[in-house]
Protein backbone atom coordinates (compact mmCIF):
# COMPACT_ATOMS: atom_id res chain seq x y z
CA UNK A 1 0.00 0.00 0.00
CA UNK A 2 1.61 3.23 -1.11
CA UNK A 3 -0.41 5.95 0.55
CA UNK A 4 1.70 8.68 -1.01
CA UNK A 5 0.26 7.73 -4.41
CA UNK A 6 -3.17 8.68 -3.04
CA UNK A 7 -2.05 11.86 -1.32
CA UNK A 8 -4.58 14.11 -3.05
CA UNK A 9 -7.58 11.91 -2.15
CA UNK A 10 -6.41 11.44 1.41
CA UNK A 11 -5.70 15.11 2.06
CA UNK A 12 -9.01 16.11 0.44
CA UNK A 13 -10.74 14.51 3.44
CA UNK A 14 -9.14 17.12 5.71
CA UNK A 15 -7.55 14.38 7.77
CA UNK A 16 -4.38 14.46 9.80
CA UNK A 17 -2.24 11.58 8.61
CA UNK A 18 0.57 10.23 10.76
CA UNK A 19 2.81 7.18 10.70
CA UNK A 20 4.25 5.46 13.75
CA UNK A 21 7.43 3.47 13.97
CA UNK A 22 9.25 1.62 16.72
CA UNK A 23 12.62 1.82 15.00
CA UNK A 24 15.58 4.01 15.93
CA UNK A 25 15.50 7.69 14.93
CA UNK A 26 18.33 7.33 12.40
CA UNK A 27 16.47 4.57 10.58
CA UNK A 28 13.24 6.54 10.66
CA UNK A 29 14.98 9.63 9.25
CA UNK A 30 16.55 7.54 6.51
CA UNK A 31 13.15 6.08 5.67
CA UNK A 32 11.59 9.54 5.43
CA UNK A 33 14.35 10.77 3.13
CA UNK A 34 14.25 7.73 0.87
CA UNK A 35 10.49 7.41 0.54
CA UNK A 36 9.46 11.04 0.62
CA UNK A 37 6.78 10.26 3.21
CA UNK A 38 5.00 13.63 3.31
CA UNK A 39 3.29 13.42 6.69
CA UNK A 40 4.55 13.31 10.28
CA UNK A 41 6.18 10.17 11.60
CA UNK A 42 6.12 9.44 15.32
CA UNK A 43 8.58 7.35 17.30
CA UNK A 44 7.23 4.74 19.70
CA UNK A 45 10.46 3.01 20.68
CA UNK A 46 8.99 1.01 23.56
CA UNK A 47 5.85 0.17 21.52
CA UNK A 48 3.59 1.44 24.27
CA UNK A 49 1.15 2.85 21.70
CA UNK A 50 1.40 -0.26 19.53
CA UNK A 51 0.32 -2.29 22.55
CA UNK A 52 -2.45 0.16 23.45
CA UNK A 53 -3.91 -0.36 19.97
CA UNK A 54 -3.56 -4.11 20.22
CA UNK A 55 -0.80 -4.53 17.67
CA UNK A 56 1.16 -7.65 18.39
CA UNK A 57 4.06 -9.68 17.09
CA UNK A 58 3.07 -12.25 14.50
CA UNK A 59 4.08 -15.89 14.57
CA UNK A 60 6.85 -17.22 12.35
CA UNK A 61 4.16 -18.72 10.12
CA UNK A 62 2.22 -15.48 9.84
CA UNK A 63 5.33 -13.47 8.96
CA UNK A 64 7.51 -15.88 7.00
CA UNK A 65 5.12 -18.61 5.87
CA UNK A 66 5.33 -19.81 2.26
CA UNK A 67 1.80 -18.57 1.58
CA UNK A 68 3.32 -15.06 1.66
CA UNK A 69 6.28 -15.71 -0.64
CA UNK A 70 4.46 -14.77 -3.88
CA UNK A 71 3.44 -11.49 -2.29
CA UNK A 72 7.00 -10.79 -1.14
CA UNK A 73 8.37 -11.53 -4.62
CA UNK A 74 5.79 -9.22 -6.17
CA UNK A 75 6.74 -6.52 -3.68
CA UNK A 76 10.45 -6.92 -4.41
CA UNK A 77 9.84 -6.27 -8.09
CA UNK A 78 7.40 -3.42 -7.59
CA UNK A 79 8.44 0.17 -8.12
CA UNK A 80 8.03 0.70 -4.39
CA UNK A 81 10.61 -1.94 -3.54
CA UNK A 82 13.07 -1.02 -0.81
CA UNK A 83 14.62 -4.34 0.03
CA UNK A 84 17.07 -3.90 2.88
CA UNK A 85 18.26 -5.83 5.85
CA UNK A 86 15.77 -5.27 8.67
CA UNK A 87 17.05 -3.16 11.56
CA UNK A 88 14.57 -4.30 14.13
CA UNK A 89 11.86 -6.77 15.03
CA UNK A 90 10.50 -8.34 11.82
CA UNK A 91 7.71 -10.03 13.77
CA UNK A 92 6.00 -6.84 14.93
CA UNK A 93 2.85 -6.35 12.89
CA UNK A 94 1.39 -3.02 11.81
CA UNK A 95 -2.08 -1.69 11.34
CA UNK A 96 -4.26 1.22 10.32
CA UNK A 97 -6.79 3.13 12.40
CA UNK A 98 -9.14 5.94 11.49
CA UNK A 99 -10.23 8.19 14.35
CA UNK A 100 -13.12 10.62 13.98
CA UNK A 101 -13.18 14.21 15.17
CA UNK A 102 -14.61 13.13 18.52
CA UNK A 103 -11.77 10.73 19.23
CA UNK A 104 -13.71 7.56 18.38
CA UNK A 105 -12.31 4.73 16.31
CA UNK A 106 -14.25 4.34 13.07
CA UNK A 107 -11.91 1.88 11.33
CA UNK A 108 -9.58 -0.60 13.01
CA UNK A 109 -7.37 -2.83 10.90
CA UNK A 110 -4.75 -4.95 12.64
CA UNK A 111 -2.53 -6.62 10.07
CA UNK A 112 -2.64 -10.42 10.22
CA UNK A 113 0.62 -10.62 8.25
CA UNK A 114 3.14 -8.12 6.81
CA UNK A 115 1.23 -7.81 3.53
CA UNK A 116 -2.18 -7.30 5.08
CA UNK A 117 -3.31 -3.68 4.79
CA UNK A 118 -6.76 -2.24 4.13
CA UNK A 119 -7.53 -0.91 0.65
CA UNK A 120 -6.81 2.80 0.31
CA UNK A 121 -10.40 3.27 -0.87
CA UNK A 122 -11.65 2.01 2.51
CA UNK A 123 -9.37 4.44 4.33
CA UNK A 124 -10.49 7.39 2.20
CA UNK A 125 -14.16 6.51 2.73
CA UNK A 126 -13.72 6.13 6.48
CA UNK A 127 -11.93 9.48 6.68
CA UNK A 128 -14.53 11.20 4.53
CA UNK A 129 -17.36 9.81 6.69
CA UNK A 130 -15.60 10.52 10.00
CA UNK B 1 -8.59 -18.97 33.06
CA UNK B 2 -6.26 -16.47 31.33
CA UNK B 3 -7.37 -12.87 31.24
CA UNK B 4 -8.68 -11.88 27.84
CA UNK B 5 -7.48 -8.44 26.81
CA UNK B 6 -10.11 -6.19 25.32
CA UNK B 7 -8.72 -4.39 22.30
CA UNK B 8 -9.94 -0.97 21.24
CA UNK B 9 -12.23 -1.40 18.28
CA UNK B 10 -14.70 0.47 16.12
CA UNK B 11 -16.87 2.74 18.25
CA UNK B 12 -14.43 2.83 21.16
CA UNK B 13 -12.53 5.88 22.34
CA UNK B 14 -9.09 5.88 20.74
CA UNK B 15 -6.24 5.47 23.23
CA UNK B 16 -4.44 8.78 23.51
CA UNK B 17 -1.09 9.24 21.85
CA UNK B 18 1.67 11.61 22.94
CA UNK B 19 4.88 10.83 21.08
CA UNK B 20 7.94 12.61 19.67
CA UNK B 21 8.06 13.32 15.97
CA UNK B 22 11.04 12.06 13.99
CA UNK B 23 11.64 15.60 12.72
CA UNK B 24 11.26 17.26 16.11
CA UNK B 25 8.49 18.32 18.46
CA UNK B 26 5.71 16.22 19.90
CA UNK B 27 2.40 15.04 18.51
CA UNK B 28 -0.73 14.44 20.57
CA UNK B 29 -3.88 12.76 19.36
CA UNK B 30 -5.94 14.89 21.73
CA UNK B 31 -4.75 18.01 19.87
CA UNK B 32 -6.45 16.76 16.72
CA UNK B 33 -10.04 16.91 18.01
CA UNK B 34 -12.44 18.14 15.34
CA UNK B 35 -10.71 16.50 12.40
CA UNK B 36 -10.32 12.88 11.35
CA UNK B 37 -6.99 11.16 11.88
CA UNK B 38 -5.39 8.28 10.01
CA UNK B 39 -2.85 6.33 12.04
CA UNK B 40 -0.45 4.17 10.04
CA UNK B 41 1.47 1.78 12.28
CA UNK B 42 4.52 0.57 10.41
CA UNK B 43 6.16 -2.75 10.87
CA UNK B 44 9.94 -2.62 10.47
CA UNK B 45 11.18 0.03 8.04
CA UNK B 46 13.14 -2.21 5.68
Would you say how long chain A is, in residues? 130
What integer is the mean pLDDT of A50-66? Answer: 83
The answer to whether the complex's ipTM is over 0.95 is no
Question: Can you give the pTM of this predicted structure?
Answer: 0.84
A13 CB-near residues (< 8 Å, 6+ apart): A124, A127, A128, A130, B36
The 10 Å CB-count burial string (b at 16+, else e) for A41-53 is bbbbeebebbeeb
pLDDT at B2: 58
What integer is the mean pLDDT of A59-75? Answer: 76
For residues B27, B30, B33, B38, the Cα torsion angle rounded to the nearest 10 degrees is 50
A94 vs B32, B42, B46: nearest CB: B42
Per-residue pLDDT tens digits for A92-130: 899 999 999 999 999 999 998 888 899 999 999 999 999
Measured CA to CA, the distance from residue B15 to residue A17 in angstroms comes to 16
Interface test mutation site (partner B, options A24, A25, A29, A41, max chain B beta carbons within 10 A): A41
- pLDDT at residue B1 is higher than 60: no
Would you say how long chain B is, in residues? 46
DSSP-assigned states of every residue in A66-121: GGGHHHHHHHHTSTT-------S-TTB--EEEEE-TTSBEEEEEE-SSTT----HH
Per-residue pLDDT tens digits for A1-43: 589 999 999 999 999 999 999 999 999 999 899 888 999 999 9
Interchain pair A49, B19: CB under 8 A: yes
Q: Which residues of B touch A83 (CB under 8 A)?
A: 46
pLDDT at A95: 95
To the nearest whole Å, the CA of A24 is away from the closest chain B CA by 9
Amino acid sequence: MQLQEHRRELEATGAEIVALTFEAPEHARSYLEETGWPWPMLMDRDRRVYRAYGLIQGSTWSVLGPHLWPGYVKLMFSKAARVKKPHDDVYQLGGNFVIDGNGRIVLAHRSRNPLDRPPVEALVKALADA
Amino acid sequence: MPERRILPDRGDAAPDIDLPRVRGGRWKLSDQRGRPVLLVFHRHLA
